[in-house]
Amino acid sequence: MDKKRVLFISQEMKPFLPSTDISDIARKLPQGIQENGKEIRAFMPRFGTINERRHQLHEVIRLSGMNLIINDIDHPLIIKVASVPQAKMQVYFIDNDDFFKRKSTYVTEDGEEFDDNDERAMFFSRGVLETVKKLGWKPDIIHCHGWMSALAVLYIKKLFYNEPHFADIKVIYSVYSNSFNKNLGSALKDKLKFDGLKDEDLTLLNDGDFVSLNKLAMSLADGVIKGSEKLDDELETFMDSLETPNLGYYPEESCVKPVGEFYDQIIGELVEE
């Protein structure tokens, strides 16, 4: 039987970024899932805080060169890759000078969140999906980690679902407490509609606040995982109300087995007693 394939889309990952709920899990889980017999690919943004020389990032020429239109503006898509030697896995990076060259992740030196975080999230999510198509690698499961990957769930379920490459793929969304304070803005819906999404696809989004963005991703996913031990109360309640399968919190050191079993449940390979 062919190995099942899992695509990890995460806004953070160790050792490229500091330790957080997201970066810890996103580092541990792909390695464990790969060691347990599944084929994996992992993607994250190439934030300017990542030391390319130390981590030996290099551009993948055959995958770079596309342009993505975000809010009616062309942005070149650059793909880089680095290895995590102790994990025997590669990580692909979505890069673009306009969005990711700055020497910080989500906020300015003064602690102000970037005004274009919405477009950065759009570019990241679409960049991953376009690159996976170019790779010719079709996953069975796409596991999205963190709010910056939430739009990937939306794109897969509402925009790319008719494409053969994404047909019948199961999407899992891990929701974390790593939040933002400045809403992504009322213009976000118009920017997403420019991509081809419809009003009815975006009813939960409001003004792109942290809670509504996560609700949107959770409502569309085939399975939801609690990534942080403590979540916003409204998100906890919403997660409990979902009819789709969900998995409670497991810390980094014990997440691989339950999450792997959750994957098998979602794709119908685990027979429940």
pTM of the complete model:
0.96
Buried b (16+ CB within 10 A) or exposed e, 97-132: eebbeeeebbeeeeeeebebbbbbbbbbbbbbbbbb
CB 262 within 8 A of CB 223: yes
**pLDDT value of residue 79:** 98
* 272 occurs within a structural domain: no
What's the domain count of the chain? 1
**pLDDT value of residue 269:** 59
**pLDDT value of residue 109:** 87
* 271 occurs within a structural domain: no
**pLDDT value of residue 86:** 84
* 273 occurs within a structural domain: no
* 52 occurs within a structural domain: yes
* 260 occurs within a structural domain: yes
**pLDDT value of residue 1:** 57
User: ∠ at Cα 78 (187, 92), nearest 5°?
Assistant: 100
Pairing label, strands 223-226, 246-247: parallel
* 270 occurs within a structural domain: no
Q: For residue 204, give the CATH number of its domain.
A: 3.40.50.2000
Side-chain-side CA neighbours of residue 78 (13 Å): 14
- Cα separation, 22 vs 252, whole angstroms: 9
Q: What is the residue range of 213's domain?
A: 5-265
* 205 occurs within a structural domain: yes
User: ∠ at Cα 126 (2, 86), nearest 5°?
Assistant: 55
In degrees rounded to 5, what are phi and psi of residue 110? -90, 5
* 108 occurs within a structural domain: yes
Helix (H) or strand (E) holding 84: strand 78-84
Task: Note down pLDDT in tens along the chain; length 273 residues.
Answer: 588 999 999 999 999 999 999 999 999 999 999 999 999 999 999 999 999 999 999 999 999 999 999 999 999 999 999 999 888 899 999 999 999 999 999 999 888 999 999 999 999 999 999 999 999 999 999 999 999 999 999 999 999 988 999 999 999 999 999 999 999 988 999 999 999 999 999 999 998 999 999 999 999 999 999 999 999 999 999 999 999 999 999 999 999 999 999 999 999 854 443
**pLDDT value of residue 270:** 47
